[in-house]
Amino acid sequence: MQTPYYLIDKSRLLPNLEKIAWLREASGAKCLLALKCFATWSVFDFMAEYMDGSTSSSLYEVRLGHEKFSGETHAYSVAYADHEIDQVLACSDKIIFNSIGQLTKFAGQSQGHIRGLRVNPGVSTSDFDLADPARPFSRLGEHDPAAIDAVADQISGLMFHNNCENDSFARFDEMLSLIEDRFGAVIHKMDWISLGGGIHFTGKDYPLDRLAARLKAFAQNFGIQVYLEPGEAAITGAATLEVTVLDTMHNGKNLAIVDSSIEAHMLDLLIYRESAKVSPNTGNEQWMICGKSCLAGDIFGEFRFDAPLKAGDRLSFQDAAGYTMVKKNWFNGVKMPSIAIRELDGTTRMVRDFNYDDFAAALS
């Protein structure tokens, strides 16, 4: 297949899904795929066998979950527009409002719908201010327990989304205890609680049994149904971005230019100033891998190889699913990567290719 393309490998996706299924069974928690992280719906039927549904951040995401992912469909948005709300309600089983203002504004239209409210507990695990939901002056959720309690009769659930790239069970436990202490009185009035995503419980050596016990105790203590919204936990390590070296140069360092662009095809890494991943990244040859866009900083990173790179060599960037495929764009008119899926039997099929017509249709 012609590069560049994203390759989703079901054999690498499956271990994550099996851990999710185990956690659901052991804890009683339900798990919804966070479409803001991963929305490649060609594998939704496979993922739905191990998960309870999907959760969204916009009208289009909730519609996609409703149409393509079986099970429950939860709707959330930082703010709903007047012209969106009716379709959001039609496509969702539960709607979570970001503020009391939005809950009040759409109280009439959402009457009879299962409603929730996002709560900002004031703590998180994010190392990036850009992604920290508990940053100063955050707009993400209500923070006053008294104000939330005053509208408790209008909702049946709460969403706490404050775990960000959290691979520490101890830190998760600590923050959940803070939530229990500060918001316990209103949680007791609820039927369900979502603890959001960002918990890297499918990672190597994560104490999954301790997480299951903690979630089960939390649910029993408050008499609630617990939801988790795994994004990266569901798809970490499941996809690569396949590229080809087009040219090589030397300007103080060995440079290899590939038929892709970090700004167009792995934007999340550029935003957070992180390097792409190449495996095994060993050898005596060190090369800077560069994208083909005109952006001077279009650089995937520096990696080690066993032999000098040359035009025509194929490279694979690891972990190219979460917050990657959903952010691809047409910057510089660089060809958007196709999407391929490797089935469990080892066969690979192309499910989507992008061409000039798609580029032209993106603008007018």
Domain borders along the chain are 11-234, 239-320+328-362
Return the CATH architecture of domain 11-234: Alpha-Beta Barrel (3.20)
Residue 242 pairs with which residues in a beta bridge? 5, 316
Q: Residue 128 pLDDT more than 90?
A: no
In the predicted model, what is the mean pLDDT of the chain?
A: 97
Task: Categorize the per-residue pLDDT at 126 as very low, low, confident or very high, splitting at 50, 70 and 90.
Answer: confident
pLDDT tens digit sequence for 42-64: 999 999 999 999 999 999 999 99
Q: Is 268 annotated as a binding residue?
A: yes
**Average pLDDT for 136-150:** 97
**Does the pLDDT value for residue 228 go beyond 90?**
yes
Q: Over pLDDT 90: what percentage of the chain?
A: 97
The pLDDT of residue 127 is above 90: no
What are the start-end ranges of the H helices in the chain? 10-27, 44-47, 59-68, 85-91, 100-105, 145-150, 169-187, 208-222, 232-235, 262-265, 267-271, 356-361
CATH of 239-320+328-362, one of 2.130.10.10, 3.40.50.2000, 3.40.190.10, 2.40.37.10: 2.40.37.10
Cα separation, 179 vs 246, whole angstroms: 52
Q: How many residues does the chain have?
A: 364
Residue 173 known to bind ligand: no
Asked if the model's pLDDT at residue 114 lies above 90, the reply is: yes
304-339, pLDDT tens digit by residue?
A: 999 999 999 999 999 999 999 999 999 999 999 999
Please tell me the predicted confidence (pLDDT) of residue 165.
86
19: confidence class by pLDDT, cuts 50, 70, 90: very high
**SS3 string of 31-80?**
EEEECCCCCCHHHHHHHCCCCCEEECCCHHHHHHHHHHCCCEEEEEECCC
pLDDT at position 274: 95
Q: In this predicted structure, what is the pLDDT of residue 217?
A: 98
Instruction: Read off the pLDDT band of 220 (50, 70, 90).
Output: very high
CB 47 within 8 A of CB 65: no
Q: Which amino acid is at 334?
A: V
pLDDT, mean of residues 225-243: 97
Band (pLDDT 50/70/90 cuts) for residue 91 is: very high
pLDDT band at residue 171 using 50, 70 and 90 as cut-offs: very high
Which pLDDT tens digit goes with each residue over 254-312? Answer: 999 999 999 999 999 999 999 999 999 999 999 999 999 999 999 999 999 999 999 99
* Share of residues in the chain with pLDDT > 70 (%): 100
